[in-house]
Structure 1
C-alpha cells in the first residue's frame, strides 16, 4: 500500500539523502501497517538497506517514528508560514495555510486504516514535537493577523483582542474538533467559520 503525500519528507537535521529516504519509506510503512505491526526489518526492506545499517542511524522504530513526525510537522509549518505571507486576501491566506499545516496531514492519516493508532502513538512518542509545532504555527498566524490589523489601522487591543489570542483560539477550536474525531469536512468548515470571525474582528469601523 502506498499512500500519497503532499511532498516527500526532507531531512530536517542534516543534509543526508539516505536519512531522508529512510524517513519517507518508514512513513509509508507506518501508514500501511500501523506502528505495532511494523518492524525494523520492514523499514530496512522498504529502504533496501540492511537492518544493521538502519540501526546505525536510528535506535529503534520509535526513534524513526518520532523523526518522521518531526520532519512532517516541520515541513507543514514551513509551507504554511510561507503561504501566510503571500499576496492576497487574509481569509484566503489563512485557509490555504491551514490546509497546508493541518488538513493535508489529516487526509493522509484518515486515508490510512491505522490512522487512529498512529495518532495515539504520536501523542505518546512525539507530544513535545507537536507542542513545539503548535507554538510555531500560532506565532506565524499571530504575525500574519497582526500585520493585517496594522495595515488596516485596526487596534485589536481596543476591542479586547490580540493577534496572539485570535491565533490561539483558532488552534484551540481545531484541537477540540480533532479530539472529537471531526478532522476532515467538519474541521475545514469550523476553520472557515472562525476565519470569518477573525475577519470581522479586523473590520474597520
Structure 2
C-alpha cells in the first residue's frame, strides 16, 4: 500500500470505529459507516465484503495503533517513569474512555468472538513492554525484598486501569486516577 492508501484506510477505519462506538456491533450498518467515512456504500464494499470483516479490520487497526502509541510513550527519552507509565496507559486505554455509547455494550462480546486471539496477543505485548520499562526503571530493586516482580507490578497497574475505565466517565478522570495509582506504585523511587 502507498502512504496515501494507508492514510485512506486509516481514515475509513477511524470512521468505522466512531460508528461502532455510537451504535454497537448489531446496530451498525455498512451504510452508516460509508456515510461517516464519506464514501459510497459500494466503495466501502470494495474494501470490506461484510460487516464482520470491517469490524475485524477496525478492531485490529485500533488495538495495533494503541499498542504502537503506548510503546512509544514507554520508550520516550524524556519524562519520569511516572509520566511514561501514565502516558502509555492513556494511549492504550484512556483514549477510549467516554467514547462508547450505551448501545455499544455488545462490542466487547463481538470482539471476543471474532478476534480473541488478536486481542490477547496485543495485551500480552503491552504487558511485556510495560514489564521491560518497569524493570529498566530500577523500581524492581525496591520491591525485591518483598518478592514483587516487574511483571506483577505491570499486571497490578493493568488491573487498576481496567477498574478505572469502568468507573470514570472522561479521559481526564482516567488520567487523574491513573496518576495516583502510578504515584503509589512508584513511591519507592521518590525516596
TM-score by length of structure 1 reads: 0.73
Residue 49 of structure 2 aligns to a residue whose secondary structure is: coil
Indicate yes or no: 2:75 matched with 1:85: yes
User: Structure 2 stretches of 5 or more lacking a match?
Assistant: none
The change in CA–CA distance for 1:167 and 1:15 in structure 2 (over 3 A counts) is farther
For the residues of structure 1 that align with 2:177 and 2:35, how far apart are their CA atoms? Answer: 41
Preserved CA contact (<8 Å) 1:156 1:202: no
Residue 167 of structure 2 aligns to a residue whose secondary structure is: coil
Which segment is superposed worse, 31-40 or 100-109?
Answer: 31-40
Indicate yes or no: 2:168 matched with 1:168: no
Indicate yes or no: 2:25 matched with 1:38: no
For the residues of structure 1 that align with 2:63 and 2:176, how far apart are their CA atoms? Answer: 22
Number of matched residues? 186
The change in CA–CA distance for 1:18 and 1:83 in structure 2 (over 3 A counts) is closer
Indicate yes or no: 2:129 matched with 1:129: no
Preserved CA contact (<8 Å) 2:64 2:122: yes
**Displacement, 1:188?**
4.9
Give the 5 Å matches for 1:1-150.
16-86=6-76, 87-109=78-100, 112-149=101-138
**Displacement, 1:162?**
1.6
For the residues of structure 2 that align with 1:59 and 1:120, how far apart are their CA atoms? Answer: 21
User: Structure 1 stretches of 5 or more lacking a match?
Assistant: 1-10
Structure with higher RCO (Cα < 8 A, 6+ apart): 2
Which segment is superposed worse, 160-169 or 31-40?
Answer: 31-40
Residue 34 of structure 1 aligns to a residue whose secondary structure is: helix
Which segment is superposed worse, 190-199 or 54-63?
Answer: 190-199
Preserved CA contact (<8 Å) 2:23 2:104: no
